[in-house]
Amino acid sequence: MMVLTRKMIEIRTILQKVGQTGALTLPSIVVIGSQSSGKSSVLEAIVGHEFLPKGSNMVTRRPIELTLVNTPDSNVEYGEFPALNLGKITDFSNIQRTLTDLNLAVPEKDCVSDDPIRLTIYSKNVPDLSLIDLPGYIQISAMDQPEELKAKIFQLCDKYIQPPNVILAVSAADVDLANSTALRASRRVDPRGERTIGVITKMDLVDPDRGSNILKDKNYPLRLGYVGVVCKTPQSGGLFSRHVNVLSAITKNENAYFGQHPQFSGEAGVTVGTYSLRRKLMEVLEATMAQSLQGTSDAIHQELEEAAYEFKVQYNDRPLTAETYLAESLDSFKHSFKEFTELFGRPQVRMLLKQELDQRILDILAQRYWNKPFSDLKKARPEDHPLSELSKVEPEELYWHRKLDGSSSALTKLGIGRLATNVVANSLSTQMDQLIEASTFRNHPFAKKAIQDSANTILNERFYATSDQVENCIKPYKFEIEVDDREWAHSRENAQRLLKDELKACEDAYKRLRDQIGGKKLGSAMAFVDKIRTGRAPEMQEGSEALGFSQAMLEKGREGIFLRDRADIIKMRMLALKSKGCATKDNKYSCPEIFMDVVAEKLTSTAVLFLNVELLSEFYYNFPRELDLRLGRHLSQAQIEAFAREDPKIRKHVDLQQRKQLLELALQKMDSLMALEKSKKAQGDET
């Protein structure tokens, strides 16, 4: 068994993951030959299957790095393209098709590409070997194969036939060896013929004497010698090729042919047959591997030293794996979530909800009480304006009773359940987004989405139950609102504060408007709109442009008037609330702002109780669990890796560390391999 080759192939697989650099390349057997020299036939004989692209135009356009792995304990033969993630391909015609596609993917204008295709074949019928198939040399430049292509193929082959690779120079017996492009190329890089194996194909096409002479070649001596073969592959596509190992068919054929002729017998001193070629390849590669042990080991050492140095300088040797990174990120996120839960409790929910209801109160008041322009207050008939009479309301006046009852039920029948649940759920969702943005997860779309999904799942699940509960519990307020003195006093303060804030908002908006278009312009636009409204500009119709006022400017004028009126009304109402008239609950019909606040306070207090139990507590309990489910141990290794790699900084760290670890592993294997070789040698020396 060729232990060394096998182990070295293992090491090479590790090094390939590191991102192999030139120095780390391990020896392979590079197959070169002219087009139609029989190169593919030889390779397929060694593998035992037809799998290489065939076709009339040049089909090998990229190097194929072919790794053969002997699997003595398995009856399944299959191929894998490690870069493509296609899995195990057991049908060799599929491998052939994939190789053809990969080759044809090279644009016509580029002709050839030096980007290699990696293919590994596992079978109990193949030896452990590492081969590289290259595009065939072009003999005669045909019309559709430009001169330039010839040069490109030469360049590509030259790159691969450098030491420590072994060259398998394929030439056909029916072509004069002096004309063999493969041998000529090999001689340029291996002038003493020390690492070239000559393969002479189509031995059946020449006279046995001539054939035998070629194999004994004196003109182009090679230390590793020549092997003659007859590799005519059985008709492709037939049952034959699919079910019978190509090598055994060819060997049978070769035995029959070479057996007939004494020129090829054991005593003749020539080597013939694909089977012998295969053995030779194994032995030569094994020996080459042995020779390159020290060099490869040194190269790995050097790479490792560089990686270790960089790791120390850049990361102070701090270990980081995708798993630990995810676990740490998740822990720290959960920690910040815990902190958040302590800051966002019942008082905060209460405030949120009350603020929301305050806005609704302002809307309702505006609709039902403040719904006439302020200027109308000064008009002849004070009863035309709802606010003018408010301070003088008699307790039994039905009109005002209905107005206040209507306003209060507009609030209680708003759909408080849904509204309250929505407000809190939206706030939680927004705050989770903020937590994400403040965490390491902000650079990870996958985790970000997982966290958002976690939050939304729980919030959605709890939504209907919570909103129903809340709605149910505020039901009594839809019919009757009792208010005591203490509540009244408290709400009186609230209402004053609310109006004060609203006034400020109005004044700020007015200022912004004025700054935007200038005080003078705004003033005249407002005056003009006023005139239109009061009918003092009859020739003007709203909607038409006039006196240099554009539609947009008229719009601004209207906005200015609205803000001014609203500010005036609010100021007036603030005075009213401050006055003695609004000091007691007995005058509630004159002070709707205060009464509405009483209602809102009651709604809020009741709603908060259920929001807390049904939504907040549930969310706080379930959210970390949901996170574990989506970002914890259930993720596959590949998902965790993909997650960590989303952050470029982390990716660099993990990559470097992985590189270092892989190099360490490769070196460790290398060391034990060298120790093994040493002991084998010592044993050999003793005997």
- Asked if 321 contacts 655 with a C-beta cutoff of 8 angstroms, the reply is no
61 near ligand GDP, rule: CB under 6 A: no
**Binding span for ligand GDP by CB under 6 A among 89-97, 200-208, 315-323, 671-679:** 200-208
> Helices 551-578 and 519-534, interaxial angle, to 10°?
80
Site string for ligand GDP, 112-151 (x = CB under 6 A): ------------------------x---------------
| Residue spans of alpha helices (H) in 190-227 | 208-215
- For 181, residues 6+ apart whose C-beta sits below 8 A from its C-beta are 33, 34, 137, 139
- For 493, residues 6+ apart whose C-beta sits below 8 A from its C-beta are none
| Comparison of 202 and 653: residue with beta carbon closer to ligand GDP | 202
40 near ligand GDP, rule: CB under 6 A: yes
If we measure between CA atoms, which residue out of 595, 588, 243 comes closest to residue 390? 588
CB of 5 to ligand GDP, least distance (A): 25
| Comparison of 96 and 201: residue with beta carbon closer to ligand GDP | 201
241 near ligand GDP, rule: CB under 6 A: no
- Site residues (CB under 6 A) for ligand GDP, limited to 15-34: 33
- Binding ligand GDP (rule: CB under 6 A), the pick from 49, 62, 152, 202 is 202
Question: Which tokens is 300 given?
Answer: 């790995």
Question: Which tokens is 292 given?
Answer: 């390159």
Compute the Cα dihedral for 35, 36, 41, 42 and give only its sign: negative
- Binding ligand GDP (rule: CB under 6 A), the pick from 39, 152, 385, 564 is 39
Other beta carbons within 10 angstroms of residue 516's beta carbon come to: 10
| Comparison of 5 and 37: residue with beta carbon closer to ligand GDP | 37
- Binding ligand GDP (rule: CB under 6 A), the pick from 76, 142, 205, 547 is 205
Name the residue with tokens 């993951």. 17
| Comparison of 52 and 576: residue with beta carbon closer to ligand GDP | 52
36 near ligand GDP, rule: CB under 6 A: yes
Compute the Cα dihedral for 351, 352, 353, 354 and give only its sign: positive
Name the residue with tokens 């590079």. 30
What stretches of 577-687 adopt beta strand conformation (E)?
Answer: none
37 near ligand GDP, rule: CB under 6 A: yes
CB of 98 to ligand GDP, least distance (A): 18
CB of 278 to ligand GDP, least distance (A): 15
**Binding span for ligand GDP by CB under 6 A among 21-29, 89-97, 196-204, 645-653:** 196-204
667 near ligand GDP, rule: CB under 6 A: no
CB of 39 to ligand GDP, least distance (A): 3
| Comparison of 258 and 610: residue with beta carbon closer to ligand GDP | 258
| Comparison of 252 and 625: residue with beta carbon closer to ligand GDP | 252
Q: Can you tell me the distance from the alpha carbon of 234 to that of 646, in angstroms, rounded to the nearest whole number?
A: 51
- Binding ligand GDP (rule: CB under 6 A), the pick from 9, 12, 30, 41 is 41
**Binding span for ligand GDP by CB under 6 A among 19-27, 73-81, 227-235, 656-664:** 227-235
Name the residue with tokens 């890089």. 189
103 near ligand GDP, rule: CB under 6 A: no
- Binding ligand GDP (rule: CB under 6 A), the pick from 29, 102, 177, 231 is 231
| Comparison of 246 and 284: residue with beta carbon closer to ligand GDP | 246
**Binding span for ligand GDP by CB under 6 A among 37-45, 188-196, 318-326, 489-497:** 37-45
CB of 125 to ligand GDP, least distance (A): 20
* Inter-CA distances, 663 with 128, 333, 480, 677, Å: 23, 34, 80, 21
Question: Which tokens is 87 given?
Answer: 């899995």
- For 220, residues 6+ apart whose C-beta sits below 8 A from its C-beta are 177, 183, 187, 193, 198
What stretches of 265-353 adopt beta strand conformation (E)?
Answer: 271-272
| Comparison of 35 and 251: residue with beta carbon closer to ligand GDP | 35
Task: Return the residue nearest ligand GDP (CB atom).
Answer: 40
Question: Which tokens is 150 given?
Answer: 């010839």
- For 366, residues 6+ apart whose C-beta sits below 8 A from its C-beta are 566
Size of the site for ligand GDP (CB under 6 A): 17
- Binding ligand GDP (rule: CB under 6 A), the pick from 230, 349, 450, 459 is 230
User: Residue 198 pairs with which residues in a beta bridge?
Assistant: 169, 226
- Binding ligand GDP (rule: CB under 6 A), the pick from 5, 15, 38, 284 is 38
| Comparison of 173 and 364: residue with beta carbon closer to ligand GDP | 173
Residues in the chain, total:
687
**Binding span for ligand GDP by CB under 6 A among 111-119, 202-210, 420-428, 457-465:** 202-210
Question: Which tokens is 469 given?
Answer: 């509960």
- Site residues (CB under 6 A) for ligand GDP, limited to 62-81: none
Cα Dmax for the chain = 137
Other beta carbons within 10 angstroms of residue 531's beta carbon come to: 13
CB of 205 to ligand GDP, least distance (A): 5
Report CA Rg, the chain.
44
**Binding span for ligand GDP by CB under 6 A among 199-207, 521-529, 576-584, 670-678:** 199-207
> Helices 346-368 and 485-517, interaxial angle, to 10°?
70
- Asked if 592 contacts 407 with a C-beta cutoff of 8 angstroms, the reply is yes
* H or E element, residue 129: strand 129-133
CB of 262 to ligand GDP, least distance (A): 20
Other beta carbons within 10 angstroms of residue 661's beta carbon come to: 17
Rule CB under 6 A: which residues touch ligand GDP? 33, 35-41, 136, 201-202, 204-205, 230-233
